[in-house]
Amino acid sequence: MNDAIGLIETKGLLALVEATDAMAKAANVQIVKRVDIGGAYVTTIVSGDVGSVRAAVEAGANAAAQVGELVGSHIIARPSEGLSPAFLG
């Protein structure tokens, strides 16, 4: 498991695609998963070292806010071992 996971949630796919692209370009992170919440809400999850995830989430949140509706962003440093299998498996 990497040192951190980052999440960005948007309303609408366009903003999420823009955010995910910005995250991948901003730092050395791995795109783990896209989650369709429903009602047009979607989330992208990335992983990597804490500094890279912070930089990626900040860039992604800014990008999403410019082209659509950013619902939220969050970083979890050193997630518990059970978190990944439970939610990302």
CATH classification number, 4-79, choose in 3.40.50.720, 1.25.40.320, 3.30.70.1710, 3.40.190.10: 3.30.70.1710
- Phi first, then psi, for residue 72 (nearest 5°) are -175, 165
Q: Is 80 exposed, middle or buried (0-12, 13-18, 19+ CB in 10 A)?
A: exposed
Q: What does the pLDDT profile of the chain (89 residues) look like in tens digits?
A: 458 999 999 999 999 999 999 999 999 999 999 999 999 999 999 999 999 999 999 999 999 999 999 999 999 999 988 887 777 77
Which pLDDT value is given to residue 77? 94
Which pLDDT value is given to residue 85? 79
Measured CA to CA in angstroms, residue 62 lies from 1, 11, 37, 78 at distances of 26, 14, 21, 24
Which pLDDT value is given to residue 73? 97
Which pLDDT value is given to residue 35? 93
